[in-house]
Protein backbone atom coordinates (compact mmCIF):
# COMPACT_ATOMS: atom_id res chain seq x y z
CA UNK A 1 0.00 0.00 0.00
CA UNK A 2 2.79 2.44 0.87
CA UNK A 3 4.56 1.71 -2.43
CA UNK A 4 1.35 2.42 -4.36
CA UNK A 5 0.81 5.74 -2.55
CA UNK A 6 4.44 6.81 -3.12
CA UNK A 7 4.21 5.91 -6.82
CA UNK A 8 0.95 7.83 -7.17
CA UNK A 9 2.53 10.87 -5.48
CA UNK A 10 5.56 10.78 -7.79
CA UNK A 11 3.35 10.45 -10.86
CA UNK A 12 1.02 13.26 -9.71
CA UNK A 13 3.85 15.69 -8.95
CA UNK A 14 5.90 14.85 -12.04
CA UNK A 15 3.38 16.58 -14.32
CA UNK A 16 4.17 19.82 -12.48
CA UNK A 17 7.90 19.36 -13.01
CA UNK A 18 7.61 19.24 -16.79
CA UNK A 19 9.02 22.38 -18.41
CA UNK A 20 6.52 24.56 -20.21
CA UNK A 21 7.56 25.68 -23.67
CA UNK A 22 6.17 28.72 -25.34
CA UNK A 23 6.04 28.74 -29.12
CA UNK A 24 8.74 30.86 -30.74
CA UNK A 25 7.55 34.14 -32.17
CA UNK A 26 9.32 34.93 -35.42
CA UNK A 27 11.24 38.20 -35.29
CA UNK A 28 11.23 40.26 -38.42
CA UNK A 29 14.45 42.29 -38.66
CA UNK A 30 14.02 46.01 -39.29
CA UNK A 31 16.06 47.38 -42.21
CA UNK A 32 18.33 50.24 -41.10
CA UNK A 33 19.57 51.07 -44.58
CA UNK A 34 22.64 50.52 -46.67
CA UNK A 35 25.93 50.56 -44.75
CA UNK A 36 29.59 50.42 -45.67
CA UNK A 37 30.98 47.21 -44.15
CA UNK A 38 34.63 47.16 -43.11
CA UNK A 39 36.68 44.82 -40.95
CA UNK A 40 39.21 45.27 -38.16
CA UNK A 41 41.22 43.32 -35.61
CA UNK A 42 42.80 44.26 -32.28
CA UNK A 43 46.24 45.01 -33.75
CA UNK A 44 48.00 48.43 -33.59
CA UNK A 45 47.36 49.02 -37.29
CA UNK A 46 43.59 48.71 -36.83
CA UNK A 47 43.17 50.02 -33.28
CA UNK A 48 46.17 52.30 -32.72
CA UNK A 49 46.58 53.21 -29.05
CA UNK A 50 43.62 51.01 -28.11
CA UNK A 51 45.18 47.79 -29.41
CA UNK A 52 45.69 45.01 -26.90
CA UNK A 53 43.25 46.48 -24.36
CA UNK A 54 40.91 43.49 -24.73
CA UNK A 55 37.91 45.71 -23.97
CA UNK A 56 35.53 47.43 -26.33
CA UNK A 57 34.14 50.95 -25.91
CA UNK A 58 31.10 49.39 -24.20
CA UNK A 59 33.33 47.48 -21.75
CA UNK A 60 32.62 44.09 -23.34
CA UNK A 61 35.36 41.65 -24.23
CA UNK A 62 35.82 41.80 -28.01
CA UNK A 63 34.76 38.58 -29.72
CA UNK A 64 35.40 37.91 -33.42
CA UNK A 65 32.17 36.92 -35.14
CA UNK A 66 30.10 38.79 -32.53
CA UNK A 67 31.53 42.28 -31.94
CA UNK A 68 30.98 45.15 -34.35
CA UNK A 69 31.81 48.83 -34.10
CA UNK A 70 29.12 51.26 -35.18
CA UNK A 71 28.44 54.98 -35.01
CA UNK A 72 26.82 56.48 -31.94
CA UNK A 73 23.50 56.51 -33.80
CA UNK A 74 23.25 52.75 -33.04
CA UNK A 75 23.20 52.03 -29.28
CA UNK A 76 25.52 49.52 -27.62
CA UNK A 77 23.90 46.09 -27.38
CA UNK A 78 21.91 46.45 -30.59
CA UNK A 79 21.86 43.19 -32.53
CA UNK A 80 22.46 43.66 -36.24
CA UNK A 81 21.92 41.20 -39.07
CA UNK A 82 24.59 41.56 -41.74
CA UNK A 83 24.55 39.11 -44.62
CA UNK A 84 22.51 36.64 -42.55
CA UNK A 85 24.82 36.72 -39.50
CA UNK A 86 23.86 38.34 -36.17
CA UNK A 87 26.40 40.69 -34.58
CA UNK A 88 26.25 42.89 -31.48
CA UNK A 89 27.24 46.57 -31.38
CA UNK A 90 29.90 46.67 -28.67
CA UNK A 91 32.47 49.11 -30.01
CA UNK A 92 32.99 52.55 -31.54
CA UNK A 93 35.84 53.89 -33.62
CA UNK A 94 37.36 57.12 -34.82
CA UNK A 95 36.72 56.27 -38.47
CA UNK A 96 33.21 54.92 -37.89
CA UNK A 97 30.53 57.16 -39.35
CA UNK A 98 26.78 56.85 -39.02
CA UNK A 99 26.53 54.52 -42.04
CA UNK A 100 29.58 52.33 -41.41
CA UNK A 101 29.83 49.02 -39.56
CA UNK A 102 33.27 47.65 -38.67
CA UNK A 103 33.26 43.88 -37.99
CA UNK A 104 35.87 42.43 -35.62
CA UNK A 105 38.07 39.66 -37.04
CA UNK A 106 40.50 37.27 -35.36
CA UNK A 107 43.54 38.52 -37.29
CA UNK A 108 44.74 41.40 -39.42
CA UNK A 109 45.11 39.18 -42.49
CA UNK A 110 41.50 38.04 -42.09
CA UNK A 111 40.34 41.67 -41.82
CA UNK A 112 42.26 42.65 -44.96
CA UNK A 113 40.99 39.64 -46.90
CA UNK A 114 37.35 40.45 -46.07
CA UNK A 115 37.60 43.79 -47.87
CA UNK A 116 35.03 46.57 -47.96
CA UNK A 117 31.56 46.55 -49.46
CA UNK A 118 28.04 47.97 -49.08
CA UNK A 119 25.00 46.00 -47.96
CA UNK A 120 21.65 46.44 -46.24
CA UNK A 121 21.92 46.09 -42.46
CA UNK A 122 19.00 45.01 -40.28
CA UNK A 123 18.28 45.50 -36.59
CA UNK A 124 16.80 42.71 -34.48
CA UNK A 125 14.33 44.12 -31.99
- Of the chain, the end-to-end C-alpha distance in Å amounts to 56
pLDDT cut 70: percent of the chain above it: 83
pLDDT-wise least confident of 9-13, 28-32, 45-49: 9-13
Say what the pLDDT of residue 20 is. 67
Does position 86 have pLDDT exceeding 70, yes or no?
A: yes
SS3 47: helix
Q: What is the pLDDT of residues 92-120, one digit of tens each?
A: 987 788 899 999 999 999 999 999 999 99
CATH node for 30-124: 2.40.40.10
| Strand extents, DSSP E, the chain | 30-40, 67-70, 79-82, 85-91, 100-104, 117-124
Average pLDDT, the chain: 85
Sorted by sequence, the CB contacts under 8 Å of residue 93 that are 6+ apart come out as 40, 69, 102
Residue scoring higher pLDDT (97 or 27): 97
The mean pLDDT of 56-62, rounded to a whole number, is 94
Domain positions in the chain are: 30-124
Sorted by sequence, the CB contacts under 8 Å of residue 116 that are 6+ apart come out as 36, 37, 38, 39
Model confidence band, residue 3 (pLDDT cutoffs 50, 70, 90): very low
Amino acid sequence: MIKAVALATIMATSIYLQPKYEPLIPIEPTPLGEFRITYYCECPICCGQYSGMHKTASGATPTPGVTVAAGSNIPFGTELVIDGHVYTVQDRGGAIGSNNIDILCASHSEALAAGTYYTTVYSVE
